Amino acid sequence: ANPVRTSIRIADAAAIASKNAKNATSQRKRNEKQPLVSRNSNLARSLSGSTNSVSPASSSRSERWAVLSINFQQFQVASTASERPSEDDMLQNSNAPMSSAASSLNSDEPMDTVDLVYDDGYKNFFDIYRHIALIEESISTYNWKTADVLFAKMEKETMINTSMVRLQLGRACFEQSEYRECRNILNDLHKRKKWKVEGTELLSTSMWHLQDTHALSALAQTLTTESRERSQSWCAAGNCFSLQRQHTQAIECMERAILLDKRFAYAYTLLGHELIVQDELDKAAGSFRSALLLSPRDYRAWYGLGLVHLKKEQNMIALTNIQKAVSINPTNRAMLCTLSQIEQQRGQIDTALVLIDRALTLNPLDVACRFNRARLLFEAKRNEECLVELDKLKASSPDEAFIFHLLARVHRRMGNTHLALLNYSWAAELDPRGEQNVTDSNHVANREEYEDDEYGSPV
């Protein structure tokens, strides 16, 4: 006889016998009704722990074992005792894995010698996870030197295939105003994983800064079609309308993004900047304060609040807010430029120049910072130094009309009438309608940034 089949038949018979015994016991309980006094006395004995008390559960258990013994005797003919495993052996075999696992857990042997199979995989996973956490800490504290070292230590394959790492790399580039690099990284990530919308709000803002109208329009169209329920999609649409100077539609998109996710602080910040352009300063301040309620260390919200007060000509309050933003993120060149402009309005030219030089140490090729430095030198009537700075700007950015405007004003002040007229002519060729915006640290189109009453007057 086959021992396995015999064991299966024994188990089936035991299950049927157990079910029959349970039904018989429950039927007998329903037929026999015990007096109340007797039931109370049995309950008292069972609670007192007396060995003479016999509960219905114990009697039913004995009956079940009796039925099981009868059924076991019926199957003894089919197989001999030597072929059939005993009940003690079966119990011992079933408890063997549990006892071995318990002994391995209770032993003094280290865990790394118990599960040697998983060592390499776990170690690799936790190393990557720890690396990502350290990078996130560096980005959150704007410690770019540490972040660069951590990115350099990470394996190239991990950086390419891990979307979280690529998103962190894009964020690091965005926070350092390296918008072209940020666009390339996040755009590649979006093409690889089109279902992920995290980071597309930064991608759309990078395209806004680069004035990449066609790419931004295509991105907004894709996101609002495939992910209409995500707030990042409507932030991209708002940036697209903002770049086309349709600020009313941009505000509607930002408000819709907030409706989809009321805890998305970045949407409040974008909405505040659009409201500043529309001169709705009180609403803009409320939007920035809402962002600060969600994220008190959001330097963009502090900076936006400072711009609102700067528009209201409340320079000291603006100075306080922007200084708070700079204390959170001391590596943002745009905020340092704005801070220098406030110091210039207060007459602190030397302090303003120190701030501009600090911004230029972060990126010596920043056109906006160099132009602001040239303006400060012009205000300080340091004409020779201003000309040197503008010549460097003209060589690096020969298609910017505002550089030639300022050059013309410097030459006019120095009495170089011919050079002044020549630079005015070049500026008019580059910007015949005078519509070129100055993308300075305020991100606000304002011709007063590079013009004064001298512009357009007879020479």
299-311 vs 315-328: helix axis angle to the nearest 10?
170
Is pLDDT of 195 > 60? yes
Q: Give the best-scoring range by mean pLDDT among 14-23, 265-274, 354-363.
A: 265-274
Report the chain's mean pLDDT, rounded to a whole number: 78
Average pLDDT over residues 203-214: 95
> What value does the mean pLDDT take over residues 365-378?
90
Whose tokens are 């056109």? That residue is: 367
| CB neighbours of residue 212 within 10 Å | 19
Q: Look at residue 81 in the predicted model and tell me its pLDDT.
A: 44
Choice among 87-96, 293-302, 350-359 with the minimum mean pLDDT: 87-96
End of a domain among 180, 196, 212? 196
Residue 311: both structure tokens together = 């528009």
Cα–Cα distances in angstroms (integers) from residue 221 to residues 53, 236, 260, 356, in the given order: 81, 9, 18, 39
CB 203 within 8 A of CB 169: no
Closest CA to 353 of 310, 382, 331: 382
pLDDT band at 45 (very low <50, low <70, confident <90, very high): very low
The beta strands (E) that lie in 282-423 are given as none
Least confident of 87-96, 172-181, 277-286: 87-96
Residue 264 lies in a domain: no
Determine the Cα–Cα distance for residues 51 and 35; give it in Å rounded to an integer. Answer: 22
pLDDT value at position 366? Answer: 86
Nearest to 322 by CA among 297, 337, 302: 302
Q: Tell me the per-residue pLDDT of 225-262, one tens digit each, with 9 for 90 and over.
A: 999 999 999 999 999 999 999 999 999 999 999 999 99
Name the phi and psi angles at 212, rounded to 5.
-90, 80
Per-residue pLDDT for 111 more than 70?
no
In a domain, 6, yes or no: no
Identify the pLDDT of residue 435: 59
Is position 115 within any domain?
no
pLDDT digits (tens, 9 = 90+) for 406-447: 999 999 999 989 999 998 888 888 877 665 544 433 333 333
Residue 159 to residue 134: CA distance in whole angstroms: 14
Cβ distance 321 to 291 under 8 Å?
A: no
- Residue 307, in any domain of the structure: no
Task: Please identify, among 143, 163, 196, the residue that sits at the C-terminal boundary of a domain.
Answer: 196
Two tokens at 363? 């990126």
Residue 167 sits in which domain range? 132-196
Write down the residue that tokens 């079940």 correspond to.
64
Per the model's pLDDT, the better-predicted residue between 96 and 269 turns out to be 269
Q: Considering the domain boundaries, does residue 75 fall inside one? A: no
pLDDT at 279 over 80: yes
Taking residues 273-292, what's their average pLDDT? 96
Residue 336 has pLDDT above 90, yes or no: yes
Q: Kindly tell me if the per-residue pLDDT of 82 is higher than 80.
A: no
* Contact of 139 with 172, CB cutoff 8 Å: yes
188, part of any domain: yes
The domain that holds 155 is classified in CATH as 1.25.40
In 337-426, which ranges are E strands?
none
Looking at residue 431, which CATH number applies to its domain? 1.25.40.10
Residue 173 domain flag: yes
Q: Which residue has the tokens 């209770």?
A: 106
Q: Is 187 helix (H, G, I), strand (E, B) or coil?
A: helix
Is residue 272 one of the residues assigned to a domain?
A: no
Tokens 């300063």: give the residue. 281
- Other C-beta atoms within 10 Å of 34: how many? 11
- Per cent of the chain over pLDDT 70 is 68
Total domains in the fold of the chain: 2
Nearest Cα to 298, choosing from 331, 265, 259, 334? Answer: 265
Instruction: Tell me whether residue 97 is exposed, middle or buried, using C-beta atoms within 10 angstroms of its C-beta: 0 to 12, 13 to 18, 19 or more.
Output: exposed
Give the pLDDT band of residue 5 (cuts 50, 70, 90): low
pTM passes above 0.75: no
Whole-number pLDDT of residue 32: 53
